[in-house]
Copies of this chain bind each other. A is one copy, B any other.
Amino acid sequence: MSDIDIRRAQEADVPAIVTMLADDPLGRGREDTSEPLAKAYRDAFAAVDADPNQFLAVMTDGGQVIGTLQITFLAGLSLQGAWRGQIEAVRVAAGRRGERLGQRLLEWAIEKCRERGCRIVQLTTNKSRQDAHRFYDRLGFKASHIGCKLDLKA
């Protein structure tokens, strides 16, 4: 475990991130891992990378990407002008699950939100991800909300 690092993603990490997004019961049907990687992923990476309120992170082991998540820092008037850190697209590579790497990644992200002065860390998780619910509960998250999505392409 000694070579594990968590850092800001670079463009060269995008294929490995997309592979992890796709390697998932819900992600499988919605990502496109064909090569060369679709331009939409490169464009999305450029938009995230250019935004000072976005932090796309990768966890690496000996240089190999083994995990990812995205943090968005959100300003708002609610809660007396509190900043929120929102976590999305959390994945650990298939071959590296069960090593508590997800916990390490989340604890790192929570600390990042604290450093940025966030009052709240928030995320949503699909109702079908039972293991994820227990995982976030152990990290101290309260499942206080319902997350609603409207698909504009449906």
Binding site for B on A (CB under 8 A): 14, 17-18, 21, 27, 30-32, 38, 40-45, 47-48, 51, 53-54, 56, 70, 72, 74-83, 88-89, 110, 113-114, 118-127, 133, 136, 139-153
Are B122's CB and A145's CB within 8 A?
A: no
Are B146's CB and A150's CB within 8 A?
A: no
Q: Quick one: which of B79, B113, B144, B152 contacts A114, CB cutoff 8 A?
A: B152
Are B145's CB and A150's CB within 8 A?
A: no
23 A-B residue contacts at CB 8 Å? A27-B78, A30-B78, A32-B80, A38-B81, A41-B80, A42-B81, A44-B81, A44-B83, A45-B77, A47-B75, A51-B53, A74-B88, A77-B89, A78-B89, A119-B153, A121-B149, A121-B150, A122-B147, A123-B148, A124-B147, A133-B146, A140-B150, A144-B147
* In the bound complex, CA of A51 to CA of B139 (Å): 30
Tell me if A's interface is mostly helix, strand, loop or mixed.
mixed
* In the bound complex, CA of A147 to CA of B51 (Å): 24
Instruction: Give 4 closest A-B pairs by Cβ, nearest first.
Output: A145-B147, A44-B81, A40-B81, A47-B75
* In the bound complex, CA of A107 to CA of B126 (Å): 24
Are A146's CB and B125's CB within 8 A?
A: yes
Contact flag A30-B147 (CB < 8 Å), given A53-B51, A119-B152, A152-B113: no
